Protein backbone atom coordinates (compact mmCIF):
# COMPACT_ATOMS: atom_id res chain seq x y z
CA UNK A 1 0.00 0.00 0.00
CA UNK A 2 2.77 2.44 0.92
CA UNK A 3 4.22 2.35 -2.58
CA UNK A 4 0.94 3.67 -3.96
CA UNK A 5 0.93 6.55 -1.48
CA UNK A 6 4.57 7.39 -2.20
CA UNK A 7 3.88 7.48 -5.94
CA UNK A 8 0.84 9.73 -5.47
CA UNK A 9 2.89 12.11 -3.31
CA UNK A 10 5.47 12.40 -6.08
CA UNK A 11 2.99 13.49 -8.75
CA UNK A 12 2.52 17.19 -9.51
CA UNK A 13 -0.28 17.13 -12.05
CA UNK A 14 -3.94 16.50 -11.34
CA UNK A 15 -4.41 14.57 -14.56
CA UNK A 16 -1.44 12.34 -13.76
CA UNK A 17 -2.92 11.57 -10.33
CA UNK A 18 -6.25 10.61 -11.87
CA UNK A 19 -4.63 8.38 -14.49
CA UNK A 20 -2.34 6.66 -11.98
CA UNK A 21 -5.23 6.00 -9.59
CA UNK A 22 -7.35 4.68 -12.47
CA UNK A 23 -4.60 2.26 -13.51
CA UNK A 24 -4.24 0.93 -9.96
CA UNK A 25 -8.01 0.60 -9.64
CA UNK A 26 -8.12 -1.35 -12.90
CA UNK A 27 -5.33 -3.64 -11.70
CA UNK A 28 -7.50 -4.51 -8.71
CA UNK A 29 -10.54 -5.30 -10.85
CA UNK A 30 -12.43 -2.01 -10.99
CA UNK A 31 -14.31 -1.71 -14.28
CA UNK A 32 -15.77 1.77 -13.81
CA UNK A 33 -14.78 4.73 -11.67
CA UNK A 34 -16.12 8.25 -11.24
CA UNK A 35 -14.80 11.15 -9.18
CA UNK A 36 -16.94 14.19 -8.37
CA UNK A 37 -14.99 17.19 -7.09
CA UNK A 38 -17.52 19.46 -5.41
CA UNK A 39 -16.91 23.17 -4.78
CA UNK A 40 -17.60 24.31 -1.20
CA UNK A 41 -21.29 24.78 -0.40
CA UNK A 42 -22.43 23.12 -3.62
CA UNK A 43 -23.77 19.68 -4.49
CA UNK A 44 -21.84 16.79 -6.06
CA UNK A 45 -24.05 16.73 -9.16
CA UNK A 46 -24.30 20.49 -9.79
CA UNK A 47 -23.06 22.32 -12.87
CA UNK A 48 -20.01 23.48 -10.92
CA UNK A 49 -18.92 19.95 -10.05
CA UNK A 50 -15.99 18.56 -12.03
CA UNK A 51 -16.64 14.90 -12.87
CA UNK A 52 -13.96 12.45 -13.99
CA UNK A 53 -15.34 9.16 -15.31
CA UNK A 54 -13.69 6.11 -16.83
CA UNK A 55 -15.09 2.78 -18.03
CA UNK A 56 -18.63 4.00 -18.65
CA UNK A 57 -20.23 3.68 -22.07
CA UNK A 58 -20.28 6.65 -24.44
CA UNK A 59 -24.07 6.61 -24.30
CA UNK A 60 -24.10 6.89 -20.52
CA UNK A 61 -21.53 9.70 -20.51
CA UNK A 62 -23.53 11.66 -23.06
CA UNK A 63 -26.63 11.17 -20.93
CA UNK A 64 -24.84 12.24 -17.74
CA UNK A 65 -23.54 15.31 -19.58
CA UNK A 66 -27.12 16.63 -19.60
CA UNK A 67 -27.52 18.77 -16.48
CA UNK A 68 -31.19 17.91 -15.94
CA UNK A 69 -30.30 14.22 -15.91
CA UNK A 70 -27.19 14.64 -13.76
CA UNK A 71 -29.06 16.69 -11.17
CA UNK A 72 -31.55 13.82 -10.73
CA UNK A 73 -28.72 11.56 -9.49
CA UNK A 74 -29.09 11.45 -5.67
CA UNK A 75 -26.41 8.85 -4.98
CA UNK A 76 -23.31 11.09 -4.52
CA UNK A 77 -25.21 13.44 -2.22
CA UNK A 78 -26.59 10.58 -0.14
CA UNK A 79 -23.19 8.95 0.24
CA UNK A 80 -21.68 12.24 1.42
CA UNK A 81 -24.59 12.81 3.79
CA UNK A 82 -24.24 9.31 5.25
CA UNK A 83 -20.48 9.77 5.55
CA UNK A 84 -19.76 6.13 4.79
CA UNK A 85 -19.38 3.64 1.97
CA UNK A 86 -22.73 2.68 0.44
CA UNK A 87 -23.64 0.41 -2.44
CA UNK A 88 -25.63 2.09 -5.16
CA UNK A 89 -28.59 -0.08 -4.23
CA UNK A 90 -28.36 1.04 -0.60
CA UNK A 91 -28.19 4.66 -1.66
CA UNK A 92 -31.29 4.22 -3.81
CA UNK A 93 -33.38 3.53 -0.70
CA UNK A 94 -31.50 5.76 1.78
CA UNK A 95 -34.09 8.53 1.41
CA UNK A 96 -37.49 8.91 -0.28
CA UNK A 97 -37.19 9.28 -4.03
CA UNK A 98 -38.72 11.77 -6.43
CA UNK A 99 -40.03 10.69 -9.84
CA UNK A 100 -36.84 12.13 -11.34
CA UNK A 101 -34.77 9.93 -9.01
CA UNK A 102 -36.76 6.87 -10.07
CA UNK A 103 -36.22 7.69 -13.72
CA UNK A 104 -32.50 8.02 -13.04
CA UNK A 105 -32.39 4.61 -11.37
CA UNK A 106 -34.25 3.09 -14.30
CA UNK A 107 -31.63 4.51 -16.66
CA UNK A 108 -28.89 3.01 -14.48
CA UNK A 109 -30.48 -0.42 -14.78
CA UNK A 110 -30.78 -0.05 -18.55
CA UNK A 111 -27.03 0.65 -18.71
CA UNK A 112 -26.19 -2.27 -16.39
CA UNK A 113 -25.02 0.01 -13.57
CA UNK A 114 -26.20 -2.14 -10.69
CA UNK A 115 -23.26 -3.46 -8.63
CA UNK A 116 -21.29 -0.34 -7.78
CA UNK A 117 -20.70 1.54 -4.58
CA UNK A 118 -19.75 5.05 -3.53
CA UNK A 119 -17.46 6.47 -0.88
CA UNK A 120 -17.13 9.98 0.58
CA UNK A 121 -13.75 11.68 0.28
CA UNK A 122 -12.70 14.48 2.62
CA UNK A 123 -10.29 17.33 2.10
CA UNK A 124 -9.34 20.67 3.67
CA UNK A 125 -11.38 23.85 3.21
CA UNK A 126 -14.60 21.86 2.72
CA UNK A 127 -13.23 20.28 -0.47
CA UNK A 128 -15.18 17.08 -0.11
CA UNK A 129 -15.71 14.73 -3.02
CA UNK A 130 -17.50 11.56 -4.05
CA UNK A 131 -15.98 8.53 -5.75
CA UNK A 132 -17.96 5.71 -7.33
CA UNK A 133 -16.60 2.28 -8.23
CA UNK A 134 -17.98 -0.73 -10.05
CA UNK A 135 -16.24 -4.12 -10.14
CA UNK A 136 -18.94 -5.50 -12.40
CA UNK A 137 -20.21 -7.81 -9.68
CA UNK A 138 -21.65 -7.47 -6.15
CA UNK A 139 -19.42 -5.84 -3.54
CA UNK A 140 -19.89 -8.91 -1.32
CA UNK A 141 -17.85 -10.88 -3.85
CA UNK A 142 -14.86 -8.51 -3.71
CA UNK A 143 -11.91 -9.36 -1.45
CA UNK A 144 -11.59 -7.01 1.51
CA UNK A 145 -7.95 -6.22 0.71
CA UNK A 146 -8.91 -5.05 -2.79
CA UNK A 147 -11.65 -2.83 -1.40
CA UNK A 148 -9.17 -1.46 1.11
CA UNK A 149 -6.66 -0.51 -1.58
CA UNK A 150 -9.32 1.18 -3.70
CA UNK A 151 -10.79 3.18 -0.82
CA UNK A 152 -7.43 4.21 0.62
CA UNK A 153 -5.94 5.23 -2.72
CA UNK A 154 -9.03 7.27 -3.60
CA UNK A 155 -8.71 9.24 -0.36
CA UNK A 156 -4.95 9.69 -0.81
CA UNK A 157 -5.43 10.90 -4.38
CA UNK A 158 -8.10 13.38 -3.35
CA UNK A 159 -5.96 14.78 -0.55
CA UNK A 160 -3.00 15.15 -2.93
CA UNK A 161 -5.19 17.07 -5.38
CA UNK A 162 -6.40 19.35 -2.56
CA UNK A 163 -2.80 20.00 -1.50
CA UNK A 164 -1.82 20.89 -5.05
CA UNK A 165 -4.68 23.37 -5.26
CA UNK A 166 -3.53 25.02 -2.04
CA UNK A 167 0.01 25.29 -3.40
CA UNK A 168 -1.14 26.87 -6.65
CA UNK A 169 -0.01 30.47 -6.87
CA UNK A 170 -0.66 33.19 -9.39
CA UNK A 171 -3.59 33.53 -11.77
CA UNK A 172 -2.95 32.66 -15.43
CA UNK A 173 -4.09 35.20 -17.98
CA UNK A 174 -6.76 33.77 -20.28
CA UNK A 175 -8.30 35.45 -23.30
CA UNK A 176 -12.01 36.25 -23.39
CA UNK A 177 -12.64 33.32 -25.72
CA UNK A 178 -10.61 30.97 -23.52
CA UNK A 179 -12.70 32.04 -20.54
CA UNK A 180 -15.84 31.26 -22.54
CA UNK A 181 -14.56 27.80 -23.45
CA UNK A 182 -13.45 27.16 -19.87
CA UNK A 183 -16.81 28.28 -18.49
CA UNK A 184 -18.72 25.86 -20.70
CA UNK A 185 -16.21 23.14 -19.86
CA UNK A 186 -16.90 23.78 -16.16
CA UNK A 187 -20.59 23.33 -16.93
CA UNK A 188 -19.87 19.82 -18.15
CA UNK A 189 -20.06 20.47 -21.90
CA UNK A 190 -17.96 18.51 -24.38
CA UNK A 191 -15.77 20.22 -26.98
CA UNK A 192 -18.29 19.33 -29.68
CA UNK A 193 -21.11 20.95 -27.72
CA UNK A 194 -18.99 24.01 -26.91
CA UNK A 195 -18.20 24.39 -30.61
CA UNK A 196 -21.92 24.48 -31.39
CA UNK A 197 -22.67 26.95 -28.59
CA UNK A 198 -19.87 29.34 -29.60
CA UNK A 199 -20.34 28.81 -33.35
CA UNK A 200 -16.79 27.61 -33.90
CA UNK A 201 -15.42 24.39 -35.33
CA UNK A 202 -14.79 21.37 -33.06
CA UNK A 203 -11.08 21.58 -33.96
CA UNK A 204 -10.97 25.21 -32.85
CA UNK A 205 -12.67 24.31 -29.58
CA UNK A 206 -10.12 21.55 -29.07
CA UNK A 207 -7.28 24.00 -29.75
CA UNK A 208 -8.63 26.43 -27.17
CA UNK A 209 -8.88 23.60 -24.65
CA UNK A 210 -5.23 22.67 -25.22
CA UNK A 211 -4.17 26.30 -24.72
CA UNK A 212 -6.17 26.45 -21.49
CA UNK A 213 -4.56 23.25 -20.21
CA UNK A 214 -1.11 24.67 -20.97
CA UNK A 215 -1.81 27.98 -19.21
CA UNK A 216 -3.28 26.26 -16.18
CA UNK A 217 -0.48 23.66 -16.16
CA UNK A 218 -2.87 20.71 -16.20
CA UNK A 219 -3.31 17.79 -18.58
CA UNK A 220 -7.07 17.29 -18.84
CA UNK A 221 -10.50 18.93 -18.52
CA UNK A 222 -11.11 17.79 -14.95
CA UNK A 223 -7.82 19.27 -13.81
CA UNK A 224 -8.64 22.49 -15.68
CA UNK A 225 -12.07 22.82 -14.10
CA UNK A 226 -10.84 22.05 -10.59
CA UNK A 227 -8.05 24.62 -10.85
CA UNK A 228 -10.24 27.23 -12.55
CA UNK A 229 -12.81 27.00 -9.76
CA UNK A 230 -10.06 27.25 -7.16
CA UNK A 231 -8.59 30.37 -8.80
CA UNK A 232 -11.98 31.96 -9.43
CA UNK A 233 -11.43 32.08 -13.20
CA UNK A 234 -14.98 31.00 -14.00
CA UNK A 235 -18.40 31.69 -12.55
CA UNK A 236 -20.93 28.92 -13.18
Q: 230: burial class by Cβ within 10 Å (0-12, 13-18, 19+)?
A: middle
Give dist(CA 172, CA 112) in Å, integer. Answer: 42
The per-residue pLDDT for range 80-93, each reduced to its tens digit, is 999 999 999 999 99
**Residue 46 CB partners (closer than 8 Å, separation 6+):** 38, 39, 71
Residues 8 and 108 in one domain: yes
3-state SS class at 185: helix
DSSP 141: G
Higher pLDDT pick, 139 / 14: 139
Answer for the pair 144, 59: CB distance below 8 angstroms, yes or no. no
Whats the size of the chain, residue-wise? Answer: 236
Residues 155 and 182 in one domain: no
Q: What is the pTM of this model?
A: 0.75
Give dist(CA 112, CA 213) in Å, integer. Answer: 34
**Single residue among 167, 188, 211 that ends a domain in this structure:** 167
Residues 25 and 96 in one domain: yes
The per-residue pLDDT for range 147-177, each reduced to its tens digit, is 999 999 999 999 998 887 766 556 788 888 8
CATH code for the domain of 224: 1.10.10.10
Residues 183 and 163 in one domain: no
The per-residue pLDDT for range 178-229, each reduced to its tens digit, is 989 998 988 888 889 999 999 999 899 989 898 898 888 888 888 888 888 7
Answer for the pair 71, 45: CB distance below 8 angstroms, yes or no. yes
Residues 222 and 137 in one domain: no
CATH code for the domain of 49: 3.30.450.80
Answer for the pair 229, 50: CB distance below 8 angstroms, yes or no. yes
User: Domain range holding 184?
Assistant: 176-231
Residues 10 and 111 in one domain: yes
Amino acid sequence: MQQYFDHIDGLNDIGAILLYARDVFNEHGVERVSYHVTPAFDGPTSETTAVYADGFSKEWLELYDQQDFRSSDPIPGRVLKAGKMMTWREAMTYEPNTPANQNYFSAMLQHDLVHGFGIPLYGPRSRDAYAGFDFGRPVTEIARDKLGVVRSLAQAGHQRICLMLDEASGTPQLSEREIEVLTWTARGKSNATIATILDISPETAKTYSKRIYAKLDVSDRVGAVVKALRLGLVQV
